[in-house]
Amino acid sequence: MEPSAAPERLTTVSASRSPAARWPVLRPWLGTAARLGLAAVWLIAGGAKVGDLGASGRAVNAYQVMPYDVAAVIGAALPFVELALGVLLLVGLATRLAAGISTALLVIFITGIASAWSRGLAIDCGCFGSGGQLAAGQAPSYLPEILRDLGFLVLAGFLLIWPRTPFSVDGWLAGEPPVEGDDE
């Protein structure tokens, strides 16, 4: 064995174990986890509100940023939008579009919560239920809600960049799930 061959072999072995070398293998599975995780968020959020659309409208109205009639319509429509996003992400159909709409909604939600916090409102965000005004003496939990939604925003952002994942309709329509190193 030549003395120069050993260092080259070590470099090749080390490079194959580097995070950059593993990324093409991990990325599709991280995308699948992001897609299914975000789908669960939307399905749970929409499912929690769809049974009482009036309460959903009151929760939107509690933010005090639009007239009651507009808030009631948005509140009544929001659970169906969330459920639709959840189903699209669950099956992996129009994933980039669903991630884009998710991103927009999450930015609106984060902005709304921050606005309520900065204006001193004492409300429940209504993200996973009826929401609305809190009882006297009950403290809102704005920071954890914002941080949670920022985490969901990271999932949506990941799917905006890498929407094709294993076990998705998008992948099957393209011929099959993406292969290692498939960067869209």
Closest CA to 107 of 153, 169, 148: 153
Q: What is the pLDDT of residue 30?
A: 95
Spatial separation of the C-alpha atoms in residues 125 and 140, rounded to whole Å? 9
32 and 177 Cβ atoms separated by less than 8 Å: no
pLDDT (tens digit per residue) in 81-106: 999 999 999 999 999 999 999 999 99
CA-CA-CA-CA torsion for 113, 119, 123, 126, nearest 10 degrees?
A: -20
User: Distance (Å, rounded) from C-alpha 89 to C-alpha 37?
Assistant: 9
Between 107 and 3, residue with greater pLDDT: 107
Average pLDDT for 122-134:
87
Q: Is the pLDDT of residue 149 over 70?
A: yes
The average confidence (pLDDT) of the chain is 88
**pTM of the shown model:** 0.83
- Quote the CA–CA distance of 27 and 109 in Å, as a whole number: 28
pLDDT at 3: 54
Which pLDDT score, from 0 to 100, does residue 134 have?
A: 87
Mean pLDDT for 2-24 is 62
Of 31, 20, 37, residue with least CA distance to 177: 31
pLDDT at 5 over 90: no
pLDDT surpasses 70 at 183: no
Pick from 14-18, 99-103, 127-131, 133-137: least confident: 14-18
pLDDT at 42 over 80: yes
pLDDT exceeds cutoff 50 at 80: yes
Phi first, then psi: what are they for 134, rounded to 5°? Answer: -85, 155
